[in-house]
Amino acid sequence: MSKLVGVYATSHTPFCYMPPENWNAIRDTRALRADVPRDEIEGNTDKYNRIQKAFETLRTKLAEAKPDVVVIIGDDQMECFDFKNFPSFALYVGEEFKGFVSSPAALAHDAFQSVGVTPPKEVEHLIKDVGPPRRATLKGHPELGAALLAGLVKRDFDPAFSMEMTNPDFGLGHAFMRPSETLTDMKTPVLPVLTNCYFAPQITGKRSMQMGVAIREAIEEHDGDLRVAVIGSGGLWHTPARKEAYLDETFDRSELDFMAKGDIEGMARYFDEYEPPSGDPSQAAQPRGAASTGMPLSPGPQGGTRETSNWIAAAAVAGKPATVVDYVPVYSSPIGCGFAYWDGF
């Protein structure tokens, strides 16, 4: 039977990969809430180094687990799907997939395009001089993908699936490529589990927890003798490019506390019972458009913070207390960057 050998959770913001001397140049293009603290170069450098140390810890732990395949639970932000068809959950079960890796050019382009501004002189060289973004090809794992599909259906889920890239010119998004690049050897097969965190009505924390439990059970009943690791990708608190964005560290630390105690139900409940403050423009519903369905939002925080549901799913796969490696509040975005793992299976 296949065996779970490790579970990991990581943020994937561009700020995790971008030189800290460029952080505030990007911050200055954003309409953050007035009370968001400002770190200067020394503070940003310290935080960048903490992030790299946390990556190193997770990378070492994952290597020690020696997985045959890595399942990544991450969100799709219209890289594979669009409003012609946007599933709540989907698995990619093809032989291989492509996506962009985190070159400085790609990161700088994404950071400024997201707010529709011209890059300031301090960082425009990242786009002009480094060259175009690079693409990488990763192996998939059709065997485990089929087993997880069958196992999820058996447990009352109805996931979509793709056997070929739905958007081959782009590939899979950063929720899958960045953790692969940062934590894996880029040779071990990766099985992507795509979730809808952004587009109303989004998956809930409770449903994410149920999915995590189902994934664990499906892995362990698979008659394939595979060593399987799972990564939850995204979060924590952030509302990228939104007006008056801020960082709710209390929310993040509360979720991490639940996770550290192994209280996954509490983690999911806290997520779903959260109510955005009245008049908070950074979490306000958006009218129907190119990047919004205009339909009623699911309960809980809004924007990128909903990627925390991928952490809830990973925590449910593990089913026990987590080791929180670090929590780094990056005010230049602003985003709460978290890193955690579960081992000893």
Q: Quick: pLDDT tens for 107-135.
A: 555 554 444 445 555 555 544 544 556 78
Q: What is the mean pLDDT of residues 38-57?
A: 97
pLDDT digits (tens, 9 = 90+) for 294-308: 999 999 999 999 999
Return the pLDDT at 132.
58
Return the pLDDT at 135.
84
CA dihedral 301, 306, 311, 315 (to 10 degrees): 50
Q: Which residue has 């959950």 as its token pair?
A: 89
Identity of residue 115: V
State the pLDDT confidence band at 314, using cuts at 50, 70 and 90. Answer: very high
Beta carbons within 10 angstroms of residue 114's beta carbon: 14
The packing angle between helices 249-261 and 308-318, to 10°, is 10
pLDDT digits (tens, 9 = 90+) for 138-188: 999 999 999 999 999 999 999 999 999 999 988 999 999 999 999 999 999
Q: What is the mean pLDDT of residues 182-201?
A: 97
Return the pLDDT at 170.
87
Structure tokens at 12: 């994937």
The CATH number of the domain covering residues in 3-342: 3.40.830.10
Distance CA 129, CA 122 (A): 13
Structure tokens at 296: 């009623």
Q: Is the peptide bond before 148 cis (omega within 30 degrees of 0)?
A: no
Greater confidence, 113 or 2?
Answer: 2
Return the pLDDT at 311.
98
Please list the alpha-helical segments (H only) found in the chain. Answer: 23-27, 41-65, 104-113, 121-128, 142-154, 174-183, 205-221, 249-261, 264-273, 308-318
Q: Which residue has 């994952």 as its token pair?
A: 62
Q: pTM surpassing 0.85?
A: yes
- Residue 331 makes CB contacts below 8 A (sequence gap 6+) with 27, 36, 37, 38, 39, 247
- Residue 96: φ, ψ to 5°: -160, 165
In three-state secondary structure terms, 295 is: coil
pLDDT digits (tens, 9 = 90+) for 55-114: 999 999 999 999 999 999 999 999 999 999 999 999 999 999 999 886 554 555 555 444
Which of 31-35, 128-132, 312-316 is the least confident region? Answer: 128-132
Q: Is 155 exposed, middle or buried (0-12, 13-18, 19+ CB in 10 A)?
A: middle
Identify the bridge partners of residue 228 per DSSP, sorted by sequence position: 4, 69
Q: What is the mean pLDDT of residues 283-287?
A: 94
Return the pLDDT at 114.
47
pLDDT at residue 321 tops 90: yes
